[in-house]
Chain A
Amino acid sequence: MEWDWDFVWKIMPTLIEGVKITIIATLLGSVLSTVVGLAIALLRRSPTRLISMPVSFAAEFIRGTPLLVQLYFIFYVLPDFGILLPPLVAGVIGLGLHYGTYTAEVYRAGIDNVPRGQWEAAKACNLTGGQTWTHVILPQAIPPMIPALANYFIAMFKETPLLSVITVLELMNQAKSVANSYYRYVEPMTLVGAFFLTISLLSVFGLRWLEKRYGRIER
């Protein structure tokens, strides 16, 4: 099998279209998982066991099952209950929920790392629960966890090819359709790998920078 550069240039625009969708899905998924993770982390700390227990179980369950099956579930089972989602929305929800359970752990560690004295000081200053969270705890907890969060976003980026199974036209799906119409697999598949490698290596550099910028906090 020969590597054909003409073919590479011919399919490049199609693949670039796919890269765009892949990046959009990753960005939206990251935003969703940031929110979902925070919600899970806060709900798990709830003093009411009736709230914290089911949330913990649900998070464990989502983390213990494959993203692929969850995507099938969202895309094929929810319509039975009258919830019909466009593929990209279903994919973003799947990514966001799945990685939300991971980021929840990051939030938990970040929140646990805020010294006890801060909680006590907030109480001594007569802050309400909401004020304590928004003005004292979260501003200190979030910067150190930014690198860890970014790490999961990179992981999420690498999972986006799974969205192709629920008919999202992202990079992998574009490559597959190109490969199927020309019966050439070497170039499209290798290019997909190259795209992923390039983007994730670039993001790793970004991550290093984030680590330097936010990794350590002065106490």
Chain B
Amino acid sequence: MIDWSGYLGLILKGALVTVELTLMGCALALVMAFIAGLGRLSRHFALRALATAYIEFFRGTSIFVQLFWAYFVLPLFGFTLTPLQAGVLALGLNVGAYGAEVVRGAVLSIGKAQYEACVALNLTRYQRMRHIILPQAFLIMLPTFCNNAIELLKATAVVSLISLSDMTFEAQVVRAQTGSTLVPFGTILILYFLMALAISRFVRTLEKRLARGLDGVRV
């Protein structure tokens, strides 16, 4: 009979790394999504081109390839990253590119009348974005951001392949030590599912809270 408690602790330690990666990845992705999404809507051609190149590049190649590139190829150019840094970088940049399209779509979906009202009120471009457009657009982005965050959580499993000891990595360790495959992989499948549930719960609560001041405005 195998004593599972020690092995469960190992998997939970890995779960902590997965959560950490997800949170940091989401933070980077959110920042990149806004920078690139708004960049794509910019007046300046150079900014638009830069943002488009970033988005198309990171959406066009696989997260797996990006991660391997960040971890194995960047050091050859003189940037050595720890597995955690490479993981956060690849995950954040990849999901950020998807998020940028969400930001762009949401901002464009705000009615023309809102822009005209801002011009009539003599708001500057910054004020218009900050106080009128983004608060409404953010609410439209949230459900898709939720999906993106879950995608990011699922993508963290890939970092186990660059020797970062996340949940999937620890499950492999447990598998190697016990010879049992069903228990470790079954456990982490359930844990991943619970984390995904937690993310969607959290975003739904956030959505309710942010929608409070916008009664009647929202379609």
Contacts and interface: CB of A to CB of B under 8 A. Distances in A.
A197 B56 CA distance: 9
A196 B181 contact: no
Interface stretch (B80-88, B124-132, B188-196, B211-219): B188-196
A1 B60 contact: no
B161 interface: yes
B115 interface: no
A70 B181 CA distance: 12
Interface string A171-211: 01000000100000110011011001100110010000000
Contact of A190 (B63, B64, B69, B150): B69
Given A189-B69, A190-B73, A64 B64 contact: no
Contact of B160 (A68, A70, A179, A190): A68
B184 to A, nearest CB: 9
Interface stretch (A11-19, A45-53, A72-80, A125-133): A72-80
Contacts of B193: 60-61, 64-65
Interface in B75-128: 76-77
Interface residues of A, number: 34
A111 to B, nearest CB: 21
A68 B168 contact: yes
Max chain A CB contacts within 10 Å: which of B56, B62, B72, B171?
B62
Contacts of A76: 175, 181, 185
A196 B188 contact: no
B196 A165 contact: no
B54 interface: no
Contacts of B168: 66, 68-69, 72
B185 A72 contact: yes
Contacts of A65: 154, 189, 192-193, 196
A55 to B, nearest CB: 16
B168 to A, nearest CB: 6
Instruction: Give the contact-size bracket for chain B.
Output: 35 or more
A197 to B, nearest CB: 4
Contact of A66 (B77, B154, B186): B154
Interface in B47-61: 56-57, 59-61
Interface stretch (A88-96, A113-121, A134-142, A154-162): A154-162
Given A1-B77, A161-B65, A189 B72 contact: yes
A40 interface: no
B24 interface: no
A87 to B, nearest CB: 16
A172 B66 CA distance: 12
Contacts of A169: none
Contacts of B77: 1
A162 B72 contact: no
Given A67-B154, A73-B185, A165-B161, A185 B65 contact: no
Nearest to A76: B181
A162 B188 CA distance: 18
10 contacts: A64-B192, A64-B197, A69-B157, A69-B189, A69-B192, A72-B181, A76-B185, A159-B64, A186-B73, A200-B60
